[in-house]
Every structure is written in C-alpha cells, then in structure tokens.
Amino acid sequence: MSGGDRPDITVIDEPSDRTSTLETFFIMKLTWLSHASWLIEFGSLRVLLDPFFTDNPAAQVQADDLEDVTHVLVSHGHFDHVADVGSIAKRCGASVIANFETALWVGKQGVDDTVGMNIGGTTTLTAGDDSLAAKMVPAIHSSGLPDGSYGGTAAGFVLTADQRRIYFACDTAFFGDMTFYAEGVDVAVLPIGDLFTMGVDDCVAAIKLIQPKIVLPTHYNTWPPIAQDADAWAKRVIAETGSEARVLKVGEAFEV
C-alpha cells in the first residue's frame, strides 16, 4: 500500500434484520484497525477512535495511510491510544475530541482544533450535511499521558446517528452502570484482552447486562499479555447471551 492510499478493508455481512426504511439512511461503517483503533464512517464523516499505528505490531496501516479524517475521538491518555493523534489531526485538519486534560495536551502537540469535554457530556460531530452525536460515558481505567502528566478520566463513547446507537466501551473494567448508558444499543464494541481491561468472562457478563443486538471484540491480540481466542469468545456470547457476536479481522469492516 502506498502512503496516499486508503487502507484496504473487507466488508462482512450486514445485519439481516434491516428494514426497508433504513435503506434511505446512510450506512454506518465500523472498521477495526487493530488494538483499540477504529474508523467510523457515516456519510461525509470519517472518525478515528484511539489511533495507534506507530510501534503497533498488529497494525496493517500506518498513520500516513489514513486520509480525509474529519474527527479523532480519544478515550484516554495512554500511549497506545494517543500515539498518532497529533500527526493525523494536523495532516488532515481533523478535530480532536477528548476529555478536557487530554485535549489540552493534544493542543500542545500543535493541533489547532480540539474539543475538551467530560463524562456525561455530548458533542455533535459534523461534516457537510452529516452529523452524529458523541456522548462521553464512564469507563473504569487509568489515564496517564505519555509524558507522565495527568490525562484526566478515562471514558467510552456512545455514538448516535439515524436512530442507531453504537457503544464503544473503550478500555474499562465491567461495571453495572454500563446499562444506564448502553442498554439495548445496536452495536457494542467491548474489550476482551484482560490484564489492562476486562477479559472474556467479564465481557460476557457485560453483554448479559446491556443486551446489545450485536457485539464486536476489541483491545486484544496486540501483544502476548492480552492474547485471546476471539472465536471462543464468540461461541460463548452465542451460547450464553441473546446477542449476536461478530469477530473482525484487522482491516475488516462491519456495516450497521
């Protein structure tokens, strides 16, 4: 892949219960770019979540391969979530949305357009005539920045567009209040790697609690300490919950 090309992605089957009404809506496409990095596309919006490609052994693209990014969402300040925020935002002219302290830090990296927010707040991401709402929701995790400074409070995001709700739990332990923010979402993207986040057992417990229609795994298999068998996880989800599990390969996309 040349530096000017967009990353190759493969689209897997979309949900079978789509109604004819949804055909008039923009498809929301979620592409797993490895680790906890996702590309969310909706109309003219191209939103990156926690871009980490430099020194990422699982990445199949590099920061310079990502073009036309309109927004970057940052869940917290750890290096494996902010490594490429500055370079991508500056090159693409993207707006960076993060907790207040992390947004200040990103601004010091030379990014002009930042939105600092906090848990419970909602902001609207807009590109052309297209928009989606991003609500910052709690996560239980630490958030030190790469230079050792305080990175604010770790968070997840609930994205809403055209009556579809996508919950990115981001780096977190399992906690009961997930249901307040994410109960019955169309898609939940949950970590399974363990050690730094919840593992498979707690992830399955979270799915039972919030009852998403579809669930995707994230934050695993980047390094040996967070290695997991995602297919085994999916079998448990199918056997023990009422949700549909989808396992993406790096670079694959799911449409909703």
Structure confidence at residue 25 (pLDDT): 59
For residue range 65-102, list pLDDT tens digits in order. 999 999 999 999 999 999 999 999 999 999 999 999 99
Homologous superfamily assigned to 28-255:
Ribonuclease Z/Hydroxyacylglutathione hydrolase-like (3.60.15.10)
pTM: 0.90
- Strand boundaries in 113-223, DSSP class E: 114-117, 122-127, 130-138, 155-161, 164-168, 187-191, 214-218
Structure confidence at residue 26 (pLDDT): 75
Q: What percent of the chain has pLDDT over 90?
A: 89
Domain ranges of the chain: 28-255
Pairing mode of beta strands 45-49, 122-127: unpaired
Intervals of the chain under pLDDT 50: 1-24
Alpha carbon 98 to its chain centroid, in Å, reads 13
Structure confidence at residue 102 (pLDDT): 98
